[in-house]
A = this chain, B = another copy of it.
C-alpha cells in the first residue's frame, strides 16, 4: 500500500517552468496554491494520495503540446487527468509532477449524424455525447456508472466499460480516431473517420494505455442508432447458483442482452436499507437485471425468452418493465448500489476482475469464503453477462491495519480471477492500484514486450510514470523476483 505524504516542493527550480506555463495559458490557467492543489491529490481511488507540484488547465491541442514540450525540456513528469473519477489511481499525481487537467477542454467539435461520428475534446463528459445526439435518435454506447461526471478522455485512457458494454463493446470499440500529443510534445493523428484504417492500429494501442503513451486531445467517437424498444427484466432467485446458471443459459440461447447485471443478497439489502424501499426482494439470494433491446418485435420476443429461461432456472418471480419510468425504477437500486455501500459502511474498496462466465458460481462462493476468512463483508454487484465482477469490500479505514487487510483480500480475489482464466481488470484499468498484480497475468517476456512500446513512445518515462507496470520499489524486490528481474532487462533496453 502506498500512501505518500503530500510532498514538499522539491529542490527543482519551478520559476522558469511556471513562467513558461503562464506564457502558454495565462496566469488563470496555472494553479499553484497549496489549498487549490488539494482537490487534485487523488482520483476516485481515494486511498492513494499525492499532491502535484502544479496544475495546468489547457484549452486546445496546441496548449497541451506546448505544455508537454516544457515538461520534456525540463524533464518533469506529467500526469493527465479528466474528471478524476477513475478507480485505479490512473490519474494519481506522482512526486514533483505537473498535472494536466482537461476540464476546460470540453467542446464538442463536430457532429456528423449521417456518418454516425462525433468529435470531442477530452474533457467532454461522457453523457454529453448522448445528450448532443439523442434528439436525432442516436446515442454513445459506453456507459460507465459515473457517466454523468466522467470525461471521454478518461474513458479513452482507461478503456472504460459500463452496463451496456456486454452487447456493444467497451470504449475501444467506439473510438475511430485520435489526435494525440506524444510525450515529446509532437502532435500526431492516429486512426481516422472510417472504421478500418491501414497500417498499425495505433488507436487501439492508445485506448487503455492510461496516459503512459501521450494525451488524447481530440477524440472521434462512433455513435449508434437508439434502439426502437428496450425492456428490462428483474428476476429473483433463492440461490446465487441459479442466477449464475441463468446468465449462462441466456447467452447459450444466442441472446445478447444490452446489459445483464447481478446483485447478491448483501447488496440487495444495502440498497433496500438506504436507496429505495421495495426496489428488490430482501430475501432473494440474488437478483438479475436483464435489459433487452432492438426492434419492438425483437425486444418483446427476447424478453419472453429471457423470462422463460429465468423460470426454468427456478426464479421465484420475473418483473418486466417496458416504459421508461418503470425501467428507471428497476435500474435505480443497481445504479445507486455503490453509494448505498458508502452509507452502510465507513469505507469500501471496489475490486474489478474478469472471469469466464462458466466459473461464476465457483468464484462467488470462493469470494465469500475469502471474505469470511479475512473477517470482512464482501458485496457483489456486477456485470454478470461478461463475467466482470465488482466485489465491494466493506471496512473502516479508522481501524488500524484494516486497509492493508482489505487490500490483501482484494489481491486474493484478483489472484482467484487469474486462476480461473480471467483478468485482473475489466474496465477500471491497472493504474497505480494493480500494477503489482501484472506479473500474475503476464510472463516476463510478455510484460517486457509492452514495456518496449512504452519506451518507444515515452522514452524518458515522463508521461504518467509509475502506472500499469510493476516496479521493485513499490511491489517489493523480494515479493516478486520476476518484477525486478524484468525491470533490469527493460532498463537495459
Contact = CB atoms under 8 A, between A and B. Distances in A.
Interface residues of A, number: 78
B441 A198 contact: yes
Interface stretch (A17-25, A99-107, A451-459): A451-459
A491 to B, nearest CB: 16
A172 interface: yes
Contact of A298 (B298, B429, B450): B298
Contacts of A186: 445
A450 B200 contact: yes
Given A159-B196, A182-B449, A194-B421, 12 more contacts: A159-B201, A190-B446, A194-B354, A201-B205, A201-B208, A202-B450, A225-B254, A226-B254, A297-B298, A452-B456, A452-B457, A453-B456
Q: This chain: how many copies in the complex? A: 2
Interface string A367-390: 000000000000000000011100
Contacts of A422: 194
A413 to B, nearest CB: 15
A201 B204 contact: yes
B441 A188 contact: no
A326 to B, nearest CB: 23
A438 interface: yes
Contacts of A298: 294-295, 297-298, 301
Nearest to A297: B301
Interface in A104-149: 114-115, 137
Q: Taking chain A's interface residues, is the majority helix, strand, or loop, or is none over half, making it mixed?
A: loop
A187 interface: yes
Contacts of A456: 452-453, 455-456
14 contacts: A188-B443, A193-B356, A194-B421, A194-B422, A196-B386, A199-B208, A200-B205, A201-B205, A201-B207, A204-B205, A205-B205, A297-B298, A298-B301, A452-B456
Interface in A417-476: 421-427, 429-430, 434, 438, 441-443, 445-447, 449-450, 452-457, 468
A38 to B, nearest CB: 30
A248 B116 CA distance: 12
Interface in A167-197: 170, 172-173, 182, 186-190, 192-197
Nearest to A429: B198
A429 B201 CA distance: 12
A69 interface: no
A161 interface: yes
Nearest to A115: B356
A360 B199 CA distance: 24
Contacts of A195: 386
A376 to B, nearest CB: 25
Closest 3 CB pairs of A and B: A204-B204, A225-B254, A298-B298
